[in-house]
Amino acid sequence: MSSVIPKTMSRWELSRFGLANLAAVKRPVPQPGPRELLVKVSAVSLNYRDKLIAEGVMLPELTLPHVPASDAVGEVVAEGDEVRRFAPGARVVSHFITDWIEGPVPPLGRVPGDSRRWGGLWRHPRRAPTRRAGRIHPAA
């Protein structure tokens, strides 16, 4: 991975509810806050939750624009000053319900899971190819 971080990025963004409103856009690359990571995403797995959010059925109070990506995998390219668990170069998998380790699924809509502010990250499984790791749910 190059150490040069571009000024802009491409992403799929929902500007208003409805799948027809999903569009590829260019946006400035954000700078990570003190306890945040900047991750270059290499694979995303959309799931039924993303469809319900895009249609406004789940989390209708969600602030838009929204980037649908319940499950994603990528590489850390920058970290905030207070981050201690990850460093640039670490491969990570997103996890949007950080306190669900096992058992029944939490109530629908309990966690916003905005992919711009993932609930949490886990280390990428070493044996899993990147294209498959985006489909691995950490609770599995």
Residue 7 has pLDDT above 90, yes or no: yes
Residues 6+ apart with CB under 8 A from 48: none
pLDDT at 13: 93
> What single DSSP character describes residue 49?
H
Q: Give me the domains of the chain, ranges plus CATH numbers.
A: 8-133 (3.90.180.10)
In three-state secondary structure terms, 54 is helix
Distance (Å, whole) CA 95 – CA 122 = 7
Sign, CA dihedral 80-85-87-91, equals: negative
pLDDT of residue 45: 83
pLDDT in tens, 95-120: 766 666 677 766 654 444 443 444 56
What's the rounded mean pLDDT across residues 19-37?
93
Q: pLDDT tens digit string along 50-109?
A: 999 999 998 888 889 999 888 888 899 999 999 888 899 998 888 766 666 677 766 654
| Residues facing 45 on adjacent strands | 71
The reply to whether the predicted model has a pTM over 0.95 is no
